[in-house]
């Protein structure tokens, strides 16, 4: 962790875990895990992946707050500065 922000490898590990969780859940219960996958993809600077995960979450739960936030960040072209800092 550098300056309170986890390293990219830590983010990637969390993203891998969230993807496994999403895959194991029944489709009707997957929206939260998919939204988390979207946020973690966004945190890694992968806005295309983030948008796809968030869109999948919103297809399951039309008003999922985190998925809406992720999509709004992507639509605005906003990415976190830490995603591009050297480790």
pLDDT one-digit tens code per residue, 6-28: 788 888 999 999 999 999 999 99
pTM: 0.89
Q: Is the pLDDT of residue 76 over 80?
A: yes
Contact by Cβ (8 Å): 73, 42: yes
Confidence of residue 68 (pLDDT cuts 50, 70, 90): very high
Q: CA dist 1 to 20, 21, 45, 86, Å?
A: 24, 24, 17, 12
- Per-residue exposure over 46-69, b if at least 16 CB sit within 10 Å of its own CB, e if not: bbebbbbbbebbbebbeebebbee
3-state secondary structure of 32: helix
Segment 54-63 mean pLDDT: 98
């Amino acid at each position: 962790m550098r300056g309170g922000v986890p390293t990219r490898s830590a983010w990637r590990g969390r993203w891998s875990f969230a993807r496994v969780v999403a895959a194991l859940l029944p489709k009707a219960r997957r929206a939260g895990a998919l939204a988390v996958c979207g946020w973690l993809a966004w945190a890694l600077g992968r806005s295309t992946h983030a948008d796809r995960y968030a869109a999948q979450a919103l297809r399951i739960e039309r008003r999922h707050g985190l998925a809406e936030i992720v999509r709004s960040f992507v639509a605005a072209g906003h990415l976190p500065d830490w995603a591009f800092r050297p480790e």
